[in-house]
Amino acid sequence: MRDPKVRLSARFARCAVGLLLAAAATAMFAAVSPATEPDPASPDPVARGAYVLRAAGCATCHTDVANGGAFLAGGRMLSSPWGAIAAPNITPDPETGIGGWSDEDFVRALRDGKSPEGRTYYPAFPYTAYSGMRREDMLDLKAYLDTVEPVASPDRPHQLRFPFSVRLFLHPWRWLFFDGAADAGDPAQDKHLARGRYLVETLGHCAECHTPRNMLGALKPGLHMAGSRYGPGGISVPNITPDAETGIGSWSEVDLAFFLRTGFTPYGDDVQGEMREAIDDGLRHLTQADLEAMAAYLKALPAIRNPVSTSPSPPPAFSSGGDW
């Protein structure tokens, strides 16, 4: 058993490093993102929309940082076992972005997965989760996106294998796996947990990475949030149910909220990869109350034993490094 003084010193060290990394990430991201401060309580819909954008992880997918892409101008290739999906330009450029979209066009895209022309989107765009988003959050997000610097950047073609490259096959997929409205949860649920559910399941769409998929790419409901051996980029994604052996059962809510803010686990590991991007571009901008609500909701999920990593790891919960 570790000496409590050593554990306390290690926690202070991690906090200090986490704050330094957060400051560095803030300076780096300020160079590519607008100056509007995310604020969920603001009377300004643009500030509220900036917060929705961070909570929904839009910047991570729609900005091709690795290749010097402009903020939200698309171009990033999102890999999957079925091929690669090119993230589109969502700046208000009228020719190559969403500058010509009405509010109803935008709501339809998020709620129904359809373009203004009626074309069906691939579910790599997580409309299956976003369909449960509150309309006011959708409109706030649109208000914010309308203020972003327009960038003329044509969408790149997808690189999907047959038969997934045939968009017509999306219609039977939707008939089987998309009912048009995400589960809104129990209206009698505690408000703190209900907020956590909305942030985790709808805006954060955490299940899209942390739940394994069947051969047709649909989430397996019996393993909800239990991790996947074949996550984005072919890298395993950890179990985030409160299972004591293979999930986050040994984490406290404080540990989890701290991780969502900084990317540091209770064991001193510094998360990397796409989860690091999700934190730097999105989660670290959320209020402490929202991070605590997310932590409470995740800890309230049913525990599912699902060892997704084939190699042992020092901590009993998350594997370090590339497993994220």
Quote the CA–CA distance of 64 and 267 in Å, as a whole number. Answer: 31
Identify the residue whose tokens are 């209020």: 287
Considering only residues 126 and 33, tell me which one the structure prediction assigns the higher pLDDT: 126
Quote the CA–CA distance of 112 and 119 in Å, as a whole number. Answer: 11
Considering only residues 25 and 245, tell me which one the structure prediction assigns the higher pLDDT: 245
pLDDT greater than 90 at residue 103: yes
The per-residue pLDDT for 184 is 58
What percent of the chain stands above pLDDT 70?
Answer: 81
* Sheet of 159-160, strands arranged across: 77-80, 83-86, 159-160
Give 175-187 pLDDT, tens digit per residue: 999 987 666 566 6
The per-residue pLDDT for 160 is 87
Mean pLDDT confidence for 18-27: 45
Quote the CA–CA distance of 291 and 25 in Å, as a whole number. Answer: 18
* Band (1; pLDDT cuts 50, 70, 90): very low
321 C-beta neighbours (distance < 10 Å), count: 13
Identify the residue whose tokens are 């955490």: 206
What's the whole-model pTM score? 0.84
pLDDT greater than 50 at residue 316: no
Give 50-72 pLDDT, tens digit per residue: 999 999 999 999 999 889 999 99
